[in-house]
Amino acid sequence: MELVRSTGLRLKRPGGPTLSFPDLVIRSGERILLTGASGAGKTTLLSMLTGLLAPQEGAVLLDGQDFYTLGSGARDRLRGRRFGFVFQTLHLLPSLTLRQNIALAANMAGLPVDEARLDGLLATLGLAGKAARRPDALSQGEQQRAAIARAVLNRPAIIVADEPTSALDDANAGAVMQLLLDQAEETGAALLVATHDSRILSLGERHIHLLPAEENAA
C-alpha cells in the first residue's frame, strides 16, 4: 500500500545552494535508509516528507492527498496520527514523567491515550517500573526506549528516525535499531531512517543516497 509519494521537491537554503531531492514512494512495511554526508539534506527531506517544512517546489502526497494544501492545524493532527518520530535529540520534557512523555504522542495528535497500549509498550521495552520517573532519573538507553515508545504509541503508518544511533555505542546502536525494526514489524509500519552510521546499513531493504549539496545543485 502506497503511503507517501513525493515529486520534484526543491528547497533553496538561505545563502546556500538549491537542494533537489529524488522522487520517492514509501509503502507499508518497507525498511528504508536515507544516507548521505552531513549537509546533504537528510533532515530537510524528512521534514518535507512529514509536513514540517514546505518545499518551494514539488509536492508531497500522504494517502493520496497533497499534504501542503491542508491548513497547519489539520496537517499537525494528520502528522501525529500517521507518523511516529524518533529524533537524534530525544525531546523528553524534564517536568513530565516517563509515562506522561509517552502519552504526549496521543495528546498532540488529538487522540485519547490508549492506556492498555501504553502499558504494553512499557512492559515490552522494559520500562514498566520506571513509568513514574522523570527523564533525568533514567539512563540514556531508557530514555531512548521511551522515545521509541512515544513514536509508536499511536500505531503510526510510518516510523521516522533521524540519526537515532549516531551518539550510541555499538551495543546500544544495535539494540535501538532492533527495537525500531520490531515495533515497525508489529504494526506493519514503514520505517524510514536517516543515517550516516555505517553500522546499521545492512538493516535497510532500500537505500536512498543523497549527494552532497554542491553536487546536488550541479
The amino acid occupying position 111 is: L
pLDDT higher than 90, residue 18: no
Across 70-77, average pLDDT: 90
Check whether 141 has a pLDDT greater than 90.
no
Query: Mean pLDDT throughout 153-168?
Result: 89
Name the residue ranges covered by the structural domains of the chain. 2-216
Taking 80 as the threshold, does the pLDDT of residue 213 lie above it? no
CA-wise closest residue to 165 among 199, 131, 189: 199
- The three-class DSSP label of residue 171 is helix
Query: Among 14-18, 92-96, 197-201, where is mean pLDDT lowest?
Result: 14-18
* pLDDT of 44: 92
More confident residue, 197 or 83: 83
Q: How confident is the model at residue 212 (pLDDT cuts 50, 70, 90)?
A: confident
The pLDDT value given to residue 98: 96
Q: How far apart are CA 10 and CA 30, in angstroms?
A: 24
| Mean pLDDT for the stretch of residues 7-22 | 88
The verdict on domain 2-216 having CATH code 3.40.50.300 is yes
**Residue that has been written with the C-alpha cell 492498555 in this structure:** 116
Question: What is the arithmetic mean of pLDDT over 178-186?
Answer: 89
How big is the chain by its Cα radius of gyration, in Å?
17
- What is the C-alpha to C-alpha distance for residues 48 and 58, in angstroms, rounded to an integer? 10
Return the pLDDT at 131: 94
The whole-number pLDDT of residue 218 equals 44
Query: Whose CA is closest to 49, among 33, 72, 25?
Result: 25
Q: Is pLDDT at 203 greater than 90 in this prediction? A: no
Instruction: Give the model confidence (pLDDT) of 74-133 as tens digits.
Output: 898 889 889 999 987 888 999 999 999 999 999 988 899 999 999 999 998 889 999 999
- Between 61-70, 115-124, 166-175, the lowest mean confidence (pLDDT) is in 166-175
Could you give phi then psi for residue 103, rounded to 5 degrees? -65, -20
Work out the pLDDT band at 183, boundaries 50, 70, 90.
Answer: confident
- For residues 189-203, give the mean pLDDT: 89
